[in-house]
Each structure stands twice: as structure tokens, then as C-alpha cells.
Amino acid sequence: MRRAVVGVMGGGDADPGVCRMARELGSLIAARGWVLLNGGRNTGVMAASARGAKEAGGTVIGVLPDRDASAASPDLDYAIVTGLGDARNVINVLSSDVVIACPGGAGTLSEVALALKSGKPVILLGFDAGPALEPYRTSGQLRSADSPAEAVALAAHLLDHPCF
């Protein structure tokens, strides 16, 4: 049986509180038996979520923007080197069954927008993307969570009841 792939997106320069949240999120994703997919670098939300998943015995895939894996998190099981720069964000979202976005910047927002435009369900963890995305919220494709546990519960529901 195919395991669900949960994309975790977020800032590479995330503050310690966001990194703690991402680490817990990674652990909870692994506990469900899901594969965690992220941007692969050894910084911010990417490093923290990968660490949490690995500590919980999970599988982690990193889709790197670089031409080599020198900046990769040591907690990746699979490092996919693309050389695509920010264009690799398309691979991140299209390879995910559901996307959970932690606080970040323009790169995170681009991943959220790409996921929504591609019909993927998205959960915003600990932040709001503003009124421009309200139609997606109204349709149920975009959800919000205040904690990693709530985000994972929403992801489980969306995976069990796909409607996009």
C-alpha cells in the first residue's frame, strides 16, 4: 500500500519557536507512518521537520534546489538534487498528497499558492495567508491549525476524505 506523502513547507530562516513546532510536526507525521517531504536543506523548518521525523523513525525526502547535496539536512533518507532553484517548489507541491505550511516568507507563500492552484489540500500552521486566499478557505481546500497535532489531525481527515 502506498504511504501518504505530506509536504512540509516553511522558512529557511525560521525562529526557534517555529523550528520547535516544525520538529514536533515532523515527529507526528512519522508517527502516522506518512512520508515527510520538504525542501531538503539543513536550515529552518526544513531541518527541524526532518529531524523530528527521523527521531520518530520516519522517512524523509528532501527536494533540493541546488546542483549538489552539500547543503542537505543529514536527516534525509532521500536527497533529490534538482538544480532548479525556486522552481523546485513545483516538485515539492506536486509530489505531496497534502501540504502543511509553517510560517515562512515569499518561498513558502509561493508553495502554498502553487499547491492551491494544483488542487492540493493545504493546511496553514500558525499563520494566516490573508484575504486573497479566502475562496480556497471557503471551498475547504485551505485549512488552518494552531498546533502540530491539529495540523496532523486535519491532514488525516483530508487524506481519508479527498475532495480535491
* Domain containing residue 78: CATH number: 3.40.50.450
**pTM for the predicted model, two decimal places:** 0.97
Give a yes or no: residue 94 inside a domain: no
Give a yes or no: residue 39 inside a domain: yes
- Give me 91's grid cell: 516538485
Residue with cell 523548518: 45
Residue with cell 525542501: 39
Q: pLDDT of 97-137, one tens digit each?
A: 999 999 999 999 999 999 999 999 999 999 998 899 999 99
Q: Which amino acid is at 139?
A: S
Question: Is 56 in contact with 31 (CB distance < 8 Å)?
Answer: yes
Q: What does the radius of gyration of the chain's CA atoms come to, in whole angstroms?
A: 14
Give a yes or no: residue 72 inside a domain: yes
- What average pLDDT is seen over the chain? 97
Give a yes or no: residue 55 inside a domain: yes
| Complete edge-to-edge strand list for the sheet that includes strand 78-81 | 78-81, 59-64, 35-38, 5-9, 98-101, 122-125, 142-145
Give the structural domain span for 64: 5-82+101-131+154-160
Give a yes or no: residue 138 inside a domain: no
Among 20, 27, 17, 114, residue whose Cα is nearest residue 63? 114
Give a yes or no: residue 92 inside a domain: no
Give a yes or no: residue 87 inside a domain: no
Q: What is the pLDDT of residue 162?
A: 83
> Into how many domains does the chain fold?
1
Q: pLDDT of 50-61, one tens digit each?
A: 999 999 999 999
Give a yes or no: residue 91 inside a domain: no
Question: Is 125 in contact with 100 (CB distance < 8 Å)?
Answer: yes
Can you tell me whether residue 146 is helix, strand or coil?
Answer: coil
Measured between alpha carbons, how far is 89 from 112 in angstroms, rounded to an integer?
10
Measured between alpha carbons, how far is 54 from 20 in angstroms, rounded to an integer?
14
